[in-house]
Structure 1
Amino acid sequence: MGITTIAFGQGHSLMGEVESERTGEKLPGANIKIKGTSLGTVTDNSGAFFFDNLSEGDYVLVVSYLGFETQEVEVEIADDGTEEVEVELEDNFLEMEGIMVQGVRQGQARALNEQREALNIKNVIDAELISTFPDPNVGESLKRIPGINIQSDQGEARYIQIRGTSPNLSNISINGEKIAAPEGDGRSIALDMIPSDVLASIEVSKAITPDMDGDAIGGTVNLETKSAVTKDRVLNLTLNGGYHNNVSDLSPVGGRASLNYGQRLGEEGKFGYMIGANYNKFSLGSDNNEMAYDEGTLEEMELRDYELTRERFGTTANFDYQFNRKSQLYLNTSFNYFADQEYRRLLGLATDEAVREFKDRLEKQKIFSTSLGGEHGLSNGFRVDYSASYSYSDQHTPEDREIIYAQAYEDAAGEDLEFVGFDRSNVDYPQFSLTPDAPSGAGIYNYGTYEFDEFVDGAELTKDRHVTARLNLSKEIAWSDNFSGIFKVGGLGRFKSKDRALTEDVYGYNGDTTYEGLISDFRDDDYLSGHYANGVGLFPGTDSMRDLFENNSADFERDEQESTEASNAEDYDATEDTYAGYVMTDLQWGNLGTILGVRYEHLRTEYEGNTVEYDQNEELVQPIPTVSDINTFDFILPMVHLKYNVRDNANLRLAWTNTYAKPNYFDLVPYSIISRPDEEIELGNPGLEPARSMNLDLMAEYYFSSIGVISAGVFYKNIQDFIYTANFEYDDAPYSGYEATQPINGDEADLAGFEVALQRQLTFLPGFASGFGIYANYTYTWSDAQLTTEGETARSVSLPGQAADVANVALSYQKYGFSGRISLNYSGEFVEEIRENSADDRYYDKHTQIDISLSQQVTPGIRIFADMVNLTNEPLRYYNGTPTRPEQQEFYSFQVKGGVKLSL
């Protein structure tokens, strides 16, 4: 243990740093209290702390940090002086456990300290804990947190749901700044494009504070990227490769590399930088069958075989200059790139048709964000911080090509002939066969009878940009030794623009190349584990489809009407301007901490879309008119947080907050798609009200000094004006009586639940057993939403995305440089899409996944690891009303990864 006290400068201030005596690593989130008073603070990300406006005299600092021995430090503040203190805490990690295990434990300690000291309810996971799970992206890491469920795409976690709320009801930010969403329809961020290697920590705030963005009914996820905290050089390199068991035509082996490099420079370490880069390329695949029903009767089914190559590239570059412990400037930047090359072979069957579609699609997404700001301690306890940030994202599909061939027949009367029959003896794998009425030559795998239907050549570019400027001013206040705190005011302006441009050219074909002349030799001999003897069959290849279209352009004729409709129906331009201000107090009265405050937000939106209409003669009405709409919304969001320290390391928390959520982008577009012959109309709804929620949270938690936490809490949300897609009879001329589809506001919804969590290293066990640890949590959620269906019938439903049960259980062992973990993630079923009646609602089925992660420290700078993912081949599964009517099943098989991490 070492303490150094240096007197310099003017004023009555106290500043210092807290670090580990063993490693010299700075300890962010350490609790600093002035003994005998209510004055206290926590260290920042660089392990520094600061007290201002202190009287001269003698003080005793009580410094505590989970996993370390609490220390009392005597400090004397002289007249007109500023005291600086450096505190080294002694950890209680066992020497024999190994360097890597100490790092993991220290990382867990950092996260739990931050979680313990926060005045609001949140969960924090550190980079070291993230690294012990086989999670390649942020979405996979988030599913380990209590109360979080995920939605997957091709076996990788993509969207998150916090406490039973849909993904668009939560906020995603990087280094505290909201990031632009690349996708065109919704506000959700696809988290499978952000790798976990670049992160220092993940924070999930389930009860927000007035100085945070208010559009967060579910909560806010903040991704903190790595920054330099010491003068010691950091150089970490990770290399790994892996094998995917369900890829046959593409390479099943992929790889990943990541690098982090940085340090603080100068004698006093005032300038710091941390630069990170990562690259990942992997092929994966899935076997899929999909079914469609009419009042419980199977009418259509599809067999789909997917092969994909996914490529990710990301960089972070964080710089800061610390003038002193009270003042700094910073520049944070991040860039993430995601490319998804998809090949899809689809066999579609209806009673009167067999269709074969081959799709070749490349989709790219980018997210760039940068933030320039500063924090400065002023005189008399004032503090100011400010930032200007820019975020840009886009989703670019430069090529989306699809060729379709079909087999269909007519009877003697010219009516469609039903020649395919279905057998649902096995509800998960319905079988199909030709009916006795099938004509000679018909056959699902008789490729010579398929005729050209259409060729589609599409492209899309969606852009999202926003600029944010924010300013906060705070003042330390102290009425007595036992009653002190901070008064804070601030605001922001955010200016967003978003647009989508879609091009889709639909062609007919007059040439003589047959389906048989295009097919490749691709064959999936184990499609859906042999449940379909011939699988999806044979399909064209990428080269043959490309050659046919590009080298025989004279044989293709563009369908002007279909192409014009498809290229205009989903285009839009939008701007959203947000102005926000807040006032709040952060008070400490003995063992009681409080946040009292209110936030005001003003939102102005302007959306522009198109009206696409077919007249009675099935002719497209041209020119296509453009429609725009402007709306404004105001939100007053009062909030109260209470935190009571029942005893050392034990907290009781209560929060009352008010939040809102903006509708999805495309829901607000004033578009219309009208078919007079079919008497159908699809509408956007620029008049949608944002959903508003009143939230109550109660949480009790106890932190183990040996690193761990046990917690339990209940929560309740009353959501007004929740949004769903309705089907109804349109009653405005000239389309009265048309069957309409439109997103609308429901009445209100109630959501309630409880969560329990346990995280602990079992170091109290003797000998070998002291290396075991447990990580477990369970969340139960219930909801009831009132809406009106077609015919004005009142109906009660669960909120889309609300799973009743979500659980994680992981058993770990960390000792002698070894770390091993077997983890189980479970989520119950939930409504994914509300339809006209409960019997037809679309459900996301329950999901259980088992993963294993192993690593061994070979030398102080070398660690080898192996990960095994989805060992039980758990599918993605949707069903129609009841589990015996599956609508989609997608199997991914397992993945195995292995590699080395170097710390130089």
Structure 2
Amino acid sequence: MTPFARNRLAACVVLACSSSYSYAAQTNDYNEIEEVVAVASPIKDSQKAAIMAKQSASNFVDIVAADTIGRFPDQNLADSLGRVPGLAIERDQGQARYINFRGAPFRYTTIAIDGITIPGAENGRIPRFDSFPSVITSRLSANKAIMPDMPGESIAGFINIETFNPFDVEGFSLATDVGLGNQALGDGDISKFSVRTSWSGENVGISLFASQNSREQITDNREFDLEQVDSELVVNELDMRSYKVKREDEAYGGRFEYRPSDSMNRFFFSTLYSKFQDHEERNQYVFDFAGGAEAAGSNLAAGETGTGLAMVSRSLEYGLYENSTWTNTLGADLQLGDWFLEARTNFTKTENDVFLPLPYSLYGAAVASYDVSDINDPLVTLAPGTSLNDIDYGYEMLLVYGSALSIDSVQFKLDAETDFAFAGLNNTFKMGLGHDQREAQGYGTNGGMASLYGINPSDYVTDQAWHTDFTNSINGTYYDNKQLRADLESASGGLTVTPDNASKINIDENITTAYAMVTNQFKWGSLVSGVRIESTDYTSSGPEGEHSDTFTEVLPSVNLNVDLSDQVKFRAAFSTGMSRPTYNEWRASASIDTTEQTISGGNPFLEAESSYGADMSLEWYAGDASLVAVGAFYRHIDDVIYADTTYVDAGNYISEFAGEQWKYTGFVNGDEGHFQGIELNFIGQASDFISESWDGFGFSANLTLLDSEFTTLSGSSFSLPGTSDMIFNSSVYYENDLFSARLNYQYRDDWLSTTENDSMGEYWAAQTRLDLSLSYTLAEPVYGSDVSFYANINNLTDEIDVRYIGTEATPNQIERYGRRYMAGVRINF
């Protein structure tokens, strides 16, 4: 470690242990925690500062420091947060995207950037973490017990992402990270690049950063329509897919800060733009054996193997999913007499767009056999002398799907804090006001049909066989989807989605907040108590009119911290919260899919969910960088929001389909629910438990046991979406001054899917991940810069993802994407 790094670490330790109210201590509690762990290095020192910050915190919180993020083989912030006790990851095509905080639905977690709450780009509430690369982040805090100065929507937790502050480093600094890699399945290219530079003087600090990441991969997908009849498996349909995916994210931003001399004041402006793009090519064949048996006038026989007529459809796609967040904050921190004030003005814009043009061929037929005796490698084999290219399709058309949502948010915040003495005790009073004005406009998923403008998709087939870890029993080859898309664009004069009025989203929302809290300092610990009030005024407009409502939630909370000894701390907390419906759920409109004959609609009359609960923990700070902790928590939820499915007359929406019964999925408030659990956390340096000769070796593990349930309007009970019964993370590592090696293991068992489910009943099977990271730092600086080389391997054991309906005996999706390798260099000046 350089002398400079040692000095910065020492400053961190001093801040963490100090009981006086310095500049950092006069910010929000979660910001105070963040400040003291920002610059720790390397792994042991990073853990040491984070543990000390956790010990001095006024609430239940776990810290992920910047150096820890950099030394894990993480692709984005979801990966980084997935190592915190009680947090689990939900992936999309192998890439971490969402966080289940304590096994709760995504909506129960609030995300903030530099203390400013950010709307979820997809639907206003749910944060996606794959659009925020970990390299731009200075520090993360995962708050589990909420205090009055934190958002009331944080039923499960509140995650604050803080970006780099130029005053963290004196003078000029430059940090870069360049990496190249390979996705094993499909031999896809991976690249990452980031740069951050800063300068700070006595009064002025400036920082700029940029990040770009790209990942090409093959996603190997098999989907099923299976059922059990009299304990025998019936194979209705097999869906063979291969995706070519290119995912890119980029982020840019900076900060200008001015600190007057001889003052605790500061004035700053910060900006961050982050964008995520998912370019997706789909090659898909569906073999409908049930439909073939019906067409042949026969019955589909039960069994894992069989032969018969299959109705065949083909889908080819080159589409785009993208979302972006642009957030700008103007702030001032002022010491006015005995009061310390924080004022913030923020403008945030999020955008989410999906555009999927899909040439669709149907009414093909072929004699084929199937074999699902090995469900992880399902087979479809065409009759001898038949190939996929021989299949004639009775009808071909162009489907164009799309959706869009844009959210503008303008926020104002004012927090004020002062110290006072009462009954011989040192106390702090804090209060604040805030207003968040949001406008959301867009439309739900729309599907349109058109001709193929004389273009024959079969002309675009290539001789390149599918990249697959399954058996390519159908001898699938790729199409030139990009050229097919380009020719369709040219022939049509431009492919577009014209949303119908029934699907439009138009929501205005105003959230006004106020809180007051008191922190009482005792010789044996502290007590933080207070109340938060949130008033919501919203209007949801749609084709049938508009609905407006106003409601107010009063949210008290108490956090007790008891120092049983210098090394042992007991915590207890009571908190309340609420969760507003997403904009997709609150919209006064519906999306109609005439191809699938389905309708999905919003419900502007939905009520917000409300909660109350408690947390307890016992923490033993066993050494400089070691921790043993056990905790328990409980949350009671009223008016649980869930998706409910029924059948309706399609003529209510499109007159020409009158009399037809289509599946309708909408959102309703159910009955009460709960989630609860026990958390065990161990972080151990071998030198703290064995002897100094083991310095450099370390081990960490955390185990969370969870239970949840809610009741639907029909009286049925389900676990809350996203709740696994068990979440386990562990890490073993060795490091010295120059070299570090870390092996990371993650496991979570089955959970009810939070996304892509029409209603209740779709589950993810248990998932395991094993990752390895290696790093070596040159002994001598190069032109004054510290240089380190690293290598990461993700998904070492080549795991697959499985989803199922009701029981694992009837999976509906199996997905493979292979291992991921990356090597690179980091330079810090």
> How does the TM-score come out when normalised to structure 1?
0.80
Partner of 1:885: 810
Match of 1:528 among 469, 472, 475: 469
SS of equivalent residue, structure 2 residue 88: strand
Alpha-carbon deviation of 1:504? 5.1
Relative to structure 1, the CA distance from residue 202 to residue 770 in structure 2 (aligned partners, 3 Å threshold; closer, same or farther) is same
Alignment of 1:731-742 (within 5 A): 740-742=664-666
Cα distance between partner residues in 1 of 2:65 and 2:754: 35
Structure 1 residue 518 displacement after superposition? 2.4
**Mapped contact 1:182–1:393 kept (Cα < 8 A):** yes
What corresponds to 1:396 in structure 2? 353
Residue 825 of structure 1: CA displacement?
0.7
Aligned partners of 2:175, 2:228: CA distance in 1, in Å? 58
1:828 correspondence with 2:749? yes
Per-residue deviation at 1:43?
Answer: 5.4
Deviation string, structure 1 residues 536-557 (Cα, Å, up to 9, x no partner) = 344343214422x245449x9x
Maintained 8 Å contact 1:206/1:219: yes
Contact 1:231/1:264 (8 A) holds in 2: yes
Specify the alignment match of 2:109 in structure 1. 170
Between 1:862-871 and 1:483-492, the stretch displaced more is: 483-492
- Contact 1:601 1:634 (C-alpha < 8 Å) held by counterparts: yes
- The answer to whether residue 725 in structure 2 is matched with residue 801 in structure 1 is no
CA shift, 1:448, in A, is 4.6
Q: Residues 304 and 536 of structure 1 are in contact (CA less than 8 Å); yes or no, is this contact kept in structure 2?
A: no
**After the TM superposition, which residues 480-629 of structure 1 pair with which residues of structure 2 at under 5 Å, given as runs?**
480-481=423-424, 483-501=425-443, 505-509=448-452, 511=454, 514-524=456-466, 526-530=467-471, 532-547=472-487, 549-553=488-492, 567-610=500-543, 626-629=544-547
Matched, 1:197 2:155: no
Equivalent residue, structure 2, for 1:62: none
Q: Which residue of 2 aligns with 1:425?
A: 373
Match of 1:368 among 288, 305, 326: 326
Relative to 1, partners in 2 of residues 1:207 and 1:569: Cα closer, same or farther, differing over 3 Å?
same
Tell me if the contact between 1:119 and 1:595 (Cα under 8 Å) persists in the aligned partners. Answer: yes
The counterpart of 1:347, out of the listed 268, 285, 288, is 285
**1:768 offset after TM fit, Å?**
5.5
Aligned-residue offset at 1:732: 15
CA distance in 1 between counterparts of 2:519 and 2:144 reads 18
The question of whether the paired residues in 1 share the 8 Å contact of 2:185 and 2:469 is answered with no
Work out the CA distance in 1 between the residues paired with 2:755 and 2:134. 33
Contact 1:101 1:818 in 2 (8 A): no
Structure 1 counterpart of 2:194, from 253, 258, 261: 258
- 1:867 and 2:792 are equivalent in the alignment: yes
Q: 1:126: Cα distance to partner? A: 0.3
Instruction: Report deviation, 1:157.
Output: 0.5
Listed as ranges, the matches of 1:221-240 within 5 Å are 221-228=159-166, 229-240=168-179
Q: Cα deviation per residue 1:63-99 (whole Å; 9 max; x = unaligned)?
A: xx999xxxxxxxxxxxxxxxxxxxxxxxxxxxxxxxx
Measured in 2, the distance between the counterparts of 1:370 and 1:406 equals: 49
SS of match in other structure, 1:763 = helix
What amino acid is the match of 1:455?
Answer: L
Describe the superposition over 1:560-585 as per-residue Cα deviations: whole angstroms up to 9, x where unpaired.
Answer: 9xx76x64443211111001111111
Shift in Å, 1:529 = 3.4
Larger radius of gyration: 1
Contact 1:461 1:500 in 2 (8 A): yes
Question: Does residue 714 of structure 1 match 2:635?
Answer: no
Deviation at 1:385, TM superposition (A): 1.5
Asked if the contact 2:704/2:726 (under 8 Å) is kept, the reply is: yes
Paired amino acid for 1:494: D
1:382 aligned residue: 339
Q: How does 1:1-150 map to 2 (within 5 A)?
A: 22=7, 26-27=11-12, 30-31=15-16, 40-41=19-20, 102-150=41-89
Mapping of 1:323-342 within 5 angstroms? 323=260, 324=262, 326-342=264-280
CA distance in 2, matches of 1:732, 1:344: 30
- The answer as to whether partners of 1:491 and 1:582 remain within 8 angstroms in 2 is yes
Correspondence 1:467 to 2:410: yes
SS of aligned partner of 2:727: strand
Contact 1:288 1:303 in 2 (8 A): yes
C-alpha deviation, 1:826, in angstroms? 0.6
Counterpart check, 1:311 vs 2:248: yes
CA distance in 1, matches of 2:807, 2:14: 48
Quote the Cα distance in structure 2 between the aligned partners of 1:589 and 1:715: 25
CA deviation map 1:618-665 (0-9, x unaligned): xxxxxxxx5321122210101111001111132111010000111121
2:238 — aligned with what?
301
TM-superposed deviation, 1:402? 1.4
Indicate if the aligned counterparts of 1:830 and 1:843 stay in contact, CA closer than 8 A: yes
Q: Structure 1 residues 24, 514: CA separation in 2 closer, same or farther (over 3 Å shift)?
A: closer
User: Between Structure 1 and Structure 2, how many residues are aligned?
Assistant: 779
Q: Partner of 1:788: helix, strand, or coil? A: coil
Amino acid at match of 1:866: A
Tell whether 2:562 aligns with 1:644.
Answer: yes
CA distance in 2, matches of 1:578, 1:49: 25
Q: Does 1:782 align with 2:721?
A: no
Amino acid at match of 2:197: Y
Give the secondary structure class of the aligned counterpart of 1:276: strand
Query: Contact between 1:28 and 1:43, CA under 8 Å: does it hold in 2?
Result: no
What letter matches 1:636 in structure 2?
A: V
Q: In the alignment, which residue of structure 2 is the partner of 1:844?
A: 764
Name the SS for the 2:373 alignment partner. coil
Contact 1:32/1:43, CA 8 A, preserved across alignment = no
Please give the root-mean-square deviation of Cα atoms over the aligned residues, in Å.
Answer: 3.3
Give the one of 216, 220, 228 matched to 1:283: 216
Counterparts of 1:808 and 1:164 in 2: how far apart (Å)?
14
Structure 1 residues 226-256: Cα deviation after superposition (integer angstroms, max 9, x where no partner): 11224242211111111111125xxx22221
CA apart distance, 1:149: 0.7
Contact 1:428 1:884 in 2 (8 A): no
Task: Select between 462-471 and 738-747 the one with higher mean Cα deviation.
Answer: 738-747
1:429-444 equivalences under 5 Å are 429-433=377-381
Deviations 1:439-463 (A, max 9, x none): x99x562435235521134554421
What TM-score comes out, normalization by structure 2 length?
0.87
Query: Which one is further off, 687-696 or 722-731?
Result: 722-731
Q: Structure 1's 458 and 444: CA in aligned 2 closer, same or farther, altered over 3 A?
A: same
User: Does the aligned pair in 2 maintain the 1:667–1:686 contact within 8 Å?
Assistant: yes
Partner AA of 1:429 in structure 2: D
For residue 680 of structure 2, the aligned residue among 735, 738, 756 is 756
Give the unaligned 5+ runs of structure 2.
Answer: 28-34, 292-310, 653-657
* CA distance 1:687–1:238, shift in 2 (3 Å): same
1:676 & 1:49 partners in 2: Cα distance? 58
DSSP 3-state at the match of 1:803: coil
Instruction: Please give the secondary structure, in 1, of the residue aligned with 2:154.
Output: coil
The answer to whether the 8 Å contact 2:104/2:720 transfers is yes
Q: Distance in 1 between matches of 2:672 and 2:420?
A: 41
Counterpart CA distance in 1 for 2:798 and 2:6 is: 46
SS for the counterpart of 2:695 is helix
On the 8 A contact 2:776/2:788 being kept in 1, the answer is yes
Deviation at 1:475, TM superposition (A): 2.1
Aligned pair 1:771/2:696, yes or no?
Answer: yes
**One-letter amino acid matched to 2:469:** L
Q: Distance in 2 between matches of 1:665 and 1:696?
A: 29
**SS at structure 2 position matched to 1:27:** helix
